[in-house]
Amino acid sequence: AQSVTQLGSHVSVSEGALVLLRCNYSSSVPPYLFWYVQYPNQGLQLLLKYTTGATLVKGINGFEAEFKKSETSFHLTKPSAHMSDAAEYFCAVSRNTGFQKLVFGTGTRLLVSP
């Protein structure tokens, strides 16, 4: 079975500050890991994903995440927050073979203040 834990339902940062959204996963098989962003009244957009290879993954909009197997973590970071980053962020895990049934965390709402 697979599961995802996102620590913090809300994270508040100032514009220009570091963004750190935490994700820990549990998986009995090597996982694929994803971060999605959801803007109000919109669907989910893929920010980045880890499948195999390099553990530091770069995504869109300046976000990156590092897969740390020893810590079962896949935290999302961005060096400098922008007002447009305000949204809800979901971490997800799937198996590394076959169909990609995504198991999502509960989401973290990022608030960015001027």
Partner 1 sequence: GAGVSQSPSNKVTEKGKDVELRCDPISGHTALYWYRQSLGQGLEFLIYFQGNSAPDKSGLPSDRFSAERTGGSVSTLTIQRTQQEDSAVYLCASSLELEGEQFFGPGTRLTVL
Which two three-digit tokens encode residue 48? 């980045």
Min dist CB 20 to partner 1, Å, is 21
Amino acid at 114: P
Min dist CB 5 to partner 1, Å, is 12
Q: Are 95 and 25 in contact (CB under 8 A)?
A: no
Nearer to partner 1, 48 or 81 (CB): 48
Nearer to partner 1, 17 or 44 (CB): 44
Q: Which positions touch partner 1 (CB under 8 A)?
A: 36, 41-46, 49, 90, 92, 97-107
Min dist CB 99 to partner 1, Å, is 5
Nearer to partner 1, 73 or 94 (CB): 94
Nearer to partner 1, 43 or 114 (CB): 43
What whole-number distance in Å separates Cα of residue 32 and Cα of residue 21?
18
Task: Return all residues near 54 (Cβ < 8 A) that are at least 6 apart.
Answer: none
What whole-number distance in Å separates Cα of residue 77 and Cα of residue 65?
6
